[in-house]
Amino acid sequence: MAIHPTAIIDPQAELAASVDVGPYAIIGPGVVLHDDVIIGAHAVVTGPTVIGARTRVHPHAVLGEDPQDKKYAGEDTRLIIGEDNVFREFSTANRGTVQGGGETRIGDGNLFMAYSHVAHDCLVGSHCVFANCASLAGHVEIQDGAVLGGLSGVHQFTRVGRCAMVGGGGMVAQDVPPFTIAQGDRARLFGLNIVGLRRNGYRLPTIQALRAVYRELFNQGTPLRIALEQVREVYADTPEVMEMVDFIETSRRGVCRAVGPEPAIES
């Protein structure tokens, strides 16, 4: 363990033997840091917060502070962070509220660039990217592999689906289905996230099926309820299509509307 002499570590914090804590960092009571966690200079971690192994917290990041919610009255709530995450300079993640289950949870292998923010009661999956200044309101769900562009924002109680992308500056007020791209204020769908699908190893037949389904759901003018029923009948054996259908059918805020036809796929 390497703890700089200027760092302040509360006696009630639990640090693994391999944790590094930089100059002037503050680790509060109720914080648990697992193996090989690195806390940079001037970073602040307040508990109850758990940070998984090999996570790196860069200078001036603040994790586990009180939720920014006027209803919060000092209740004992938590922030749970998985393994292999990176929190860059001035990024923030708040604990939950009792109204939202008392817990903010972040998965594994995420990158939170400078000034990004995860609000109270959010659920962030694994292998997501938050570009600079991307911000979540409370109770947001970001599914695995999603990418939020710089200066983007997500309205409370909204979901961004797996491998979806929100373009830079996008203001998301309705759910973004898996595998799609949304951008603009209030964000609309601009087709499939083809680059993201390829980077995540999806083969051309799956991408073509998703493209056909996207067109059926969003570009044909068919009422969405009817289009979803038709897609279920035709693509019941394609898991990615069923994931998109299930996501849309379980939406409580509705999904973003589409703009224009889905572009052709380059072979």
- Exactly one of 121, 149, 175, 196 is catalytic; which is it? 121
Contact present, 37 and 17 (Cβ < 8 Å): no
The CATH 1.20.1180 portion of the chain extends over 197-249
What pLDDT is stored for residue 200 in this prediction? 94
Could you write out the three-class secondary structure of the chain? CEECCCCEECCCCEECCCCEECCCCEECCCEEECCCCEECCCCEECCCEEECCCCEECCCCEEEECCCCCCCCCCCCEEEECCCCEECCCCEEECCCHHHCCEEEECCCCEECCCCEECCCCEECCCCEECCCCEECCCCEECCCCEECCCCEECCCCEECCCCEECCCCEECCEECCCEEEECECCEEEEECHHHHHHCCCCHHHHHHHHHHHHHHHCCCCCHHHHHHHHHHHCCCCHHHHHHHHHHHCCCCCECCECCCCCCCCC
Question: pTM of the full predicted structure?
Answer: 0.95
Is 246 considered catalytic here?
no
Is 117 considered catalytic here?
no
Q: CATH number of the domain at 2-139, please?
A: 2.160.10.10
Q: What is the mean pLDDT of the chain?
A: 96
Q: Is the pLDDT of residue 266 over 70?
A: no
- Exactly one of 40, 82, 100, 138 is catalytic; which is it? 138
What pLDDT is stored for residue 265 in this prediction? 53
Condensed to tens digits (0 to 9), the pLDDT of residues 155-179 reads 999 999 999 999 999 999 999 999 9
Q: Is the pLDDT of residue 264 over 60?
A: no
Q: Is the pLDDT of residue 267 over 90?
A: no
Higher model confidence: residue 266 or residue 53?
53
- Exactly one of 117, 120, 139, 155 is catalytic; which is it? 120
Contact present, 136 and 120 (Cβ < 8 Å): no
Condensed to tens digits (0 to 9), the pLDDT of residues 73-128 reads 999 999 999 999 999 999 999 999 999 999 999 999 999 999 999 999 999 999 99
Mean pLDDT within 199-216: 96
Is 138 considered catalytic here?
yes
The CATH 2.160.10.10 portion of the chain extends over 2-139
Q: Is the pLDDT of residue 18 over 80?
A: yes
The domain made up of 197-249 is a member of CATH 1.20.120: no
Phi, psi of 206 (to 5 degrees): -65, -45
Contact present, 45 and 65 (Cβ < 8 Å): no
